Chain A
Amino acid sequence: MTVIELDLDAVLDTLDQMSSQRPVAAQIVATSNNENCGASQLAAILGADITLAAKVMKLANSAYFGLSGRVRSLQFAVAVVGFNTVRSVATVALSGTDEAQTVPDGFWKTSVHLAAACGALGPQFDERTADAMCLGLLAQLGAALLHQADPEGYVELMSRTDFGMRRFEEEARRYGICSTQLTAEALHQWSFPTEMVDALREVRSGDQGALLRTAYELTARSLYTRHRRTPLERLSQGKVTDAQASAKLAAIKDDVETLRSAMGL
């Protein structure tokens, strides 16, 4: 098997360069890390990027947050979707994955599924729904970066590995780091909360990664009929059982539709 020497610094440098092209998104990512930052302050910054502001307004008015058509101010929109969500939307813009033509096939489809799955699972893992949703939404950022660095190789890797744990192992073997851990490095670089970074880093093992592991498994079950199942009890450290799978999948399916439409993905 080919092992690629991935220049992690070069990959992360690419993201730094993107930041300078989307200054408002970069400022939002930095500002919303500040616990003292209020919705009005964040909304004021967001207002300088019409595209981003529109995305947040659309999201706040989506069925996902249950307030369709009632959120009329940007400040209220920020309060409704939460700072973490605003930051995640900005991060997507910052990473350029929303516009990139080079993301792997089905990238956003799986990302939205992951976001919905994390959101639906969040409370069982003592995570806020919106925080968990952001975790799922951004988890695949590393996969996009790996794909950019090694387009053909990554597509080939995707074609022969199941989405989830088996693919992580293969990514680690090939690149020395799996996609979610690469996401962790990128988010760490942007000073995302430690809990979020750890959840991504520990996706292959460890307590913090249980939510994301479970979300990947449910997403794989939802999207890939030939997916080889791993018991949810094991992945979630006993928090979710296979008996609950069908109910969870149904809830995720509903949220996927609203999120996809809300985020314009």
Chain B
Amino acid sequence: MTAASAASPVGDADIPRLPRQTGQVVTAVFQAVAADPEVAVLVAEVGDADEAVIRWSNPRASELLGRARSDLDGELLADFLTWPMGVSAAAVFRRERLTTTSVTLRTAVGETVACRAHAVPAPGGRLWTLQVHPAHSEREIALRASAAAHEHRFRMLAERSPVPTMMSEQGMRLGHVNDALCSLLGVTADKLVGTGWMSYAHLDDLEAISETVVAVLAGQEREMQARFLDSHRRVHYTDMRFTPLHTPGVGDGFVATLEDITERRAFEEQLNFQATHDALTGLPRRTRLWEHITAVMADTDAGLACMFLDLDNFKLVNDSLGHKAGDALLVEVAHRLTGSVRPGDLVARFGGDEFVVACGTGSLDAALEVADRILRVLNEAVVLGGVEIHPRASIGVVLRGPEHQSADDLIRDCDIAMYQAKARGKGRIMVLDAGARSAVYDTLTLVADLRQAIEDDHITLCYQPIVAYRGADASPELASVEALARWRHPERGTVPADVFVRLAEEHGLVHDLGRVVLETACAALADWQRELGPIAPPRVNVNLSVLQMSDPRLVQTVKRTLRRFGLRPDQLCLEITESALMKDPDTAAMVLGQLRDHGVLVAIDDFGTGYSSLAYLRQLPVNYLKVDRSFVAELQDGHTAVAKAVISLAHNLDLGVVAEGVETGTQRQMLERMGCSLLQGFGISQPLDETGFVDWCLSGYPAANGGTA
């Protein structure tokens, strides 16, 4: 139906055409109206003075007004019914159209009943039929009361809920807010309804809130975090949860609850700070440094210089003044560093006494200026434990370039530059040198290859005999054989043992390397014992790295390996250099003691070069001293004192003694005269591969060229 048709007056076009039995139809309609138990019908005649007089009423009208129908006839309508204020009878009784008006009925007992009246004009111009319905039927009243009670309950629930809640019926305009929201923001509800609440949302979050509301109005449920400012302009962080609210026939709105997560967030931020910042200095840790650099590098045009700073001689402070002083120095350095950089630069503690500064500059000069300032400021005096110290540091600087794809690349390069600075004398700034970087890359590649070689059993052993001479004419006796690790790199050829052992020590591979050498040597000895019988060496000597001494599993590993290959403990002699031994004599004494208790023999290698404390030597559980090759080499020049002293010392301590690096018969004879009968060196035999060693044994231990076996 269109508005135009809805608004049409009651005219001829709206009156249905009557069928032939008009009289019967009129009677039928009249009966129906008269008997209608729901609708009160009054027929009123309106005179010239606009006074309406009741001419007929149905039983329901009589019942509603509490008067007999006969008492109503001829009475003024105004005695029983009141129009709303300002509404005249003329406005109600309209000749050309139906009108509807709210009216108040007065019953016989003085009660008033709110009703709605439809006035329908009858042909003729003087009579109107007035259909009167109570404004609300009992069912309607009950339903409304029930709905009102429901609404009241929900409203109370929302208003008293401790969860701040807002409700919009349309768009962003709020119709209702609850007490908890008012309390959260410290304002009264009238400040928040409408669009007032938006002025309490944080300006930076309003856009996101609006976008969320748009999605919610389109029917989605959403959650988001948003900040609100209360009446004291304090920021509250909230979790907002939106639910769409559709009112049929009205439109779309939303209900949103806000959870104040300010305290939780502060706690989380504190935890996050603790997780990403160093507790001692308060500086960001590596994770934050990585995030910062990665974020800057995301912009391909952003300039970035990175500097790696390592304090010089920090260990000295720790060792001499104690860890407390060391910590105080780190805190002071952190303070000085943050005071030396520019706004926007980041200072992070990398670990120990290492710091990294990320400078937002693409200019090397600017970065060096910062580095210079840092060195200058750091060098100012600081008093620790009553001692005045002038801290110094080595700084490696690198400028971000196309070769840097990640934070890792950049930090690795400034680390390399820092090592260059250290290597060139400390207390200086070095900008990354391409040659140095390539050397470091080379080393890292070699380490990776070494790791692979150990895993793939590509580390081989050579064996150098240790022979005993019991008098000038006596045949040499094979006393032992020293296992020497060898690595033949597929591309680089043979890598010197001192190079790859050092790499293994520096990169955590020494335990694996040591295990491989020990197992291979023991396996070989077991094979020789089986295959060569009496001409097989009685034991094998294996070198230990100083780092292996700190391995708590070393003793167990040795025992297990001996068991595995069916060897007695005295068939194994472990060699450790004198200098390694003296790095931590107490630990060495303990570990070697456990090994010797088990029956394993122990030799001190390169003796005479490591400044051993003789007092320690007496206590150390060793079986042999090995005279360093340098002392053997100088024998022929007449410098015999050291070799003599070592041999004499061994005898006095009741230890065996082996001379290393014996190359000539003269050396052998001189050593024999000094009382050293155990000899090892090129003069006896060069190190041999396994096959060569077996042949050497089978050939009766022939002396090498130049030697006099």
Contacts and interface: CB of A to CB of B under 8 A. Distances in A.
B638 interface: no
Interface string A2-39: 00000011001101100110010011011010111101
B3 to A, nearest CB: 4
A206 to B, nearest CB: 6
A131 B173 contact: no
B436 interface: no
A64 B195 CA distance: 7
Contacts of B615: none
B248 to A, nearest CB: 6
Contacts, number: 167
Contacts of B87: 177, 181, 201
Contacts of B190: 244, 247-248, 251
B336 interface: no
B96 A9 contact: yes
B2 A26 contact: yes
Contact of A66 (B169, B210, B251): B210
Contacts of A37: 249
Contacts of A120: 194
Nearest to B193: A123
Chain A CB within 10 Å, residue with most, of B2, B95, B218? B2
B214 to A, nearest CB: 5
A122 interface: yes
Given A130-B251, A178-B86, A16 B171 contact: no
B173 A35 contact: no
B6 A65 contact: no
A12 B7 contact: yes
Contact of A129 (B91, B173, B247): B173
Given A19-B3, A129-B194, A176 B91 contact: yes
Given A8-B91, A81-B251, A204-B85, A122 B210 contact: no
Contact of B172 (A9, A16, A67, A248): A67
B280 interface: no
B172 A39 contact: no
A70 interface: yes
Contacts of A194: 116
Nearest to B9: A9
Contacts of B193: 123, 129
Interface string B356-381: 00000000000000000000000000
Given A12-B97, A29-B3, A80-B252, A181 B173 contact: no
A78 interface: yes
Contacts of B2: 19, 23, 26-27, 30
B91 A185 contact: yes
A104 interface: no
Given A8-B91, A201-B101, A255 B175 contact: no
A113 B90 CA distance: 32
Nearest to B206: A66
Contacts of A204: 84-86
A12 B97 CA distance: 10
A70 B88 CA distance: 48
Contacts of B248: 35-36
Interface in B5-51: 6-9
B434 interface: no
Chain B CB within 10 Å, residue with most, of A13, A83, A129, A251? A129
B7 A16 contact: yes
Contact of A9 (B84, B94, B217): B94
Interface string B244-256: 0001111110000
A244 to B, nearest CB: 7
A119 interface: yes
Given A30-B2, A70-B214, A247-B190, A130 B170 contact: yes
B211 A65 contact: no
Contacts of A71: 214
B1 A30 contact: yes
Interface string B194-224: 1110100000000000110110011000000
A212 B333 CA distance: 73
A80 B217 contact: yes
Contacts of A189: 6-7, 97
Interface residues of A, number: 69
A79 B170 CA distance: 7
Contacts of B90: 8, 176
B100 interface: yes
Interface in A25-56: 26-27, 29-30, 32, 34-37, 39
A39 B252 contact: yes
A81 B102 CA distance: 30
B4 interface: yes
Chain A CB within 10 Å, residue with most, of B8, B90, B251? B251
A129 B86 contact: no
Contacts of B250: 82-84, 128, 130-131
Contacts of B251: 39, 78-85, 130
A30 B85 CA distance: 29
A168 interface: yes
Chain A CB within 10 Å, residue with most, of B7, B97, B172, B213? B7
A15 B7 contact: yes
A65 B8 CA distance: 36
B208 to A, nearest CB: 12
A27 B196 contact: no
B138 to A, nearest CB: 18
A26 B3 contact: yes
Contacts of A65: 170-173, 195
Contacts of B422: none
Contact of A27 (B3, B7, B218): B3
B170 A76 contact: no
A181 B86 CA distance: 8
Interface in B167-199: 169-173, 175-176, 190-191, 193-196, 198
A194 B127 CA distance: 26
Contact of A70 (B9, B99, B211, B252): B211
Interface in B48-100: 84-88, 90-91, 94-97, 99-100
Nearest to B190: A247
A191 B88 CA distance: 21
Contacts of B172: 65-67
A37 B252 CA distance: 13
A94 interface: yes
A147 to B, nearest CB: 18
Contacts of B173: 64-66, 129-130
Interface string A113-145: 000000110110000111100000000000000
Nearest 10 pairs between A and B by C-beta?
A66-B172, A65-B171, A82-B251, A26-B3, A35-B249, A79-B252, A19-B4, A205-B85, A80-B171, A189-B7
Interface of B: 1-4, 6-9, 84-88, 90-91, 94-97, 99-102, 116, 169-173, 175-176, 190-191, 193-196, 198, 210-211, 213-214, 217-218, 247-252
10 contacts: A9-B96, A19-B7, A26-B3, A30-B6, A65-B170, A76-B214, A80-B171, A123-B176, A202-B84, A206-B85
Given A65-B173, A71-B214, A128-B170, 18 more contacts: A8-B91, A9-B95, A23-B4, A30-B2, A34-B249, A60-B171, A66-B198, A70-B210, A79-B217, A81-B171, A82-B250, A83-B251, A85-B251, A130-B251, A189-B6, A191-B3, A194-B116, A255-B194
